[in-house]
């Protein structure tokens, strides 16, 4: 399904390689902007203009929603 069908007012950009210089060079893999708030560089992450972001994790151990077996012994995710 095309992103335009799900969120027709947003433009989704691949911003994984260029971080936001105002936020310690953090970068989102995909950034969604309103058509009127697009960054001047379409590969540049700009959190101040962004409506939402997507960060892909390709390793099962990077899942932030995995609960530890013992909640009193938190797991160190690496």
Specify if 72 maps to a domain: no
Kindly give, in sequence order, each residue whose CB lies less than 8 Å from that of residue 26, ignoring residues fewer than 6 positions away: 19, 20, 45, 47
Q: Give the residue ranges of DSSP H helices in 1-78.
A: 3-6
Specify if 5 maps to a domain: no
Specify if 18 maps to a domain: yes
- Whether the predicted pLDDT of 75 surpasses 90: no
Specify if 39 maps to a domain: yes
Tens-digit pLDDT profile for residues 22-73: 999 999 999 999 988 999 888 889 999 999 999 887 777 777 676 667 767 7
Q: How many domains does the chain have?
A: 1
Q: Identify the domain containing residue 43 by its residue range.
A: 10-58
């Amino acid at each position: 399904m095309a992103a335009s069908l799900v969120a027709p007012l947003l433009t989704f950009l691949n911003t994984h390689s260029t971080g936001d210089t105002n936020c310690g060079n953090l970068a989102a893999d995909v950034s969604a902007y309103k058509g009127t708030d697009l960054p001047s560089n379409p590969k540049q992450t700009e959190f101040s203009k962004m409506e939402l972001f997507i960060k892909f994790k390709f390793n099962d151990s990077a899942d932030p929603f995995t609960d530890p077996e013992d909640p009193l012994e938190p797991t160190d995710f690496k």
